[in-house]
Amino acid sequence: MQGSFRTIELSDAPYEFDGLRFLTVKTPNLKGRGDICLYVPKTEEPITDLPIYILLHGVYGSAWVWALKGGAHKSAAEMMQQKKMKPAIIAMPSDGLWGDGSAYIAHHKKDFARWIVEDVPLAIKENIPEASAKSKLCIGGLSMGGYGALWLGSTYPEKFSAISAHSAITCLEEMKLFVEEPLSDYTQEAQTPNVIDLIKTHPTKMPPLRFDCGVDDELLAGNRLLHQQLQEFDFTHTYEEFPGGHQWEYWQTHVRKTYQFFDAATS
């Protein structure tokens, strides 16, 4: 059957490990190819409509970092085995691999937002038997990926059942802390509003939202400000702070919060 993508490469089962699968598709949104790392759990009975939990990486990373630096698939497998969450596909796409980080928005005639929101779910549903058109979507991420989750979840609220962010960039200006590319590179196609402005655009359509940040994180002030703005706006959400900084040890621990939140939202 001819799918929606001109070219597709999917890893072969004999060479896969730890439940991880790797998918590469060519898409006009990236003017080329995009990578997706997937954790597809084995279930006692065949399931064809597993929910899809998208995890977005931060600057400097790619499709592999959530799994091979964050152990996201191992945390998910353990929680599923312990019945702390129901089976779900963990989708870990690249951001499009522009510069130090694409910020998951459209610029340089590439639509990094549509890559995540449209191409990634479609590629999974067309190529992974455990997913289908009925699969519910949730979106989460860390740092720049936290910004992507907040930004994309707020821009396309009808597509997602829940949003979760760790150590998130909350306004585009904070990208300057991490990337060498000038901020003007990101805003060449459109001015990008802050997360709070997006949420205010259609608050009644927003899915459940949670986010957290480490007390030693350089992005703590921005997260606290977003929390305060949401409180002033009387928008229901969950915000938490924990020990730790902007580091993998923090995200390895707290991705479990994301899984629990997504599990509740898709039940």
Domains of the chain and CATH, by start: 8-266 (3.40.50.1820)
Q: Using alpha carbons only, how large is the chain's radius of gyration in Å?
A: 17
Mean pLDDT of the region 75-85: 97
Q: What pLDDT is stored for residue 193 in this prediction? A: 74
Query: How large is the average pLDDT for residues 8-35?
Result: 97
Say what the pLDDT of residue 192 is: 74
Rounded to whole angstroms, what are the CA distances from 65 to 15, 86, 93, 105? Answer: 19, 23, 10, 20
Cα 2 from Cα 36, distance rounded (Å):
20
Q: What is the pLDDT of residues 184-216, one digit of tens each?
A: 999 877 667 789 998 998 888 999 999 999 999
Residue 24 parent element (H or E): strand 20-27
Average pLDDT over residues 258-265: 98
Q: 57 is written with which tokens?
A: 């990486």
What distance in Å separates the CA atoms of residue 76 and residue 80, rounded to the nearest whole number? 6
Give exposure, 156-169, as e/b (b: 16+ Cβ within 10 Å).
Answer: bbebbbbbbbbbbb
Residue 154 in tokens: 């707020």
Angstrom distance (rounded) from CA 265 to CA 213: 21
What's the pLDDT tens digit per position in 84-142?
A: 999 999 999 999 999 999 999 999 999 999 999 999 999 999 999 999 999 999 999 99
pLDDT at 1 over 50: no
What is the per-residue pLDDT across 29-50, written as a single tens digit (0 to 9) for each? 999 999 999 999 998 888 899 9
Structure confidence at residue 46 (pLDDT): 87
Among candidate residues 93, 219, 88, 226, the one with its CA nearest the CA of residue 151: 226
pTM: 0.97
For residue range 222-261, what is the model confidence (pLDDT) as tens digits?
999 999 999 999 999 999 999 999 999 999 999 999 999 9
Please name the residue ranges forming H helices in 134-247. 144-155, 195-201, 220-232
Residue 188 CA, chain-centre distance (Å), reads: 24
